[in-house]
């Protein structure tokens, strides 16, 4: 797969947005199915994966992490944050201590 520079990172030109696996488009995928899909994307050359703490909340990051753990040094995982307890309805919270957690 072709790659591109994203700042100092080299990432695949096609990334996998993982939101739909646990949030936003109906019921969450079965965990095993989601892991299988993420790993299949990597096997096909995808090295850029996008998630967020609000997708689940927290579930999506856990699934992405588990799926990519065996190849962690070969991929880039982007995550978004900034909601209190990872729940958009709880309001914003981007304080430095929250970001570190």
Which residue from 3, 38, 6, 1 is spatially nearest to 20, judged by alpha carbons? 38
DSSP-based three-state secondary structure for 23 = coil
Q: Is 55 a catalytic residue?
A: yes
- 101: tokens are 């957690």
DSSP-based three-state secondary structure for 80 = strand
> Of the residues 35, 55, 60, 75, which is catalytic?
55
* Helix (H) or strand (E) segment spanning residue 96: helix 96-100
Residue position matching structure tokens 């040094």: 73
Show which residues are catalytic: 55
């Amino acid at each position: 797969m072709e790659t591109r520079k994203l700042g100092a990172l080299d990432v695949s030109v096609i990334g996998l947005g993982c939101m739909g696996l646990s949030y936003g488009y109906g019921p969450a995928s079965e965990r095993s199915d989601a892991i299988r899909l993420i790993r299949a994307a990597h096997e096909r050359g995808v090295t850029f994966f996008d998630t967020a703490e609000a997708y689940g909340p927290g579930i999506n990051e856990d699934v992405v992490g588990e799926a990519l753990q065996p190849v962690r040094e070969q991929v880039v995982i982007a995550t978004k944050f900034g909601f209190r307890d990872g729940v958009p309805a709880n309001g914003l919270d981007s304080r430095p201590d929250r970001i570190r957690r």
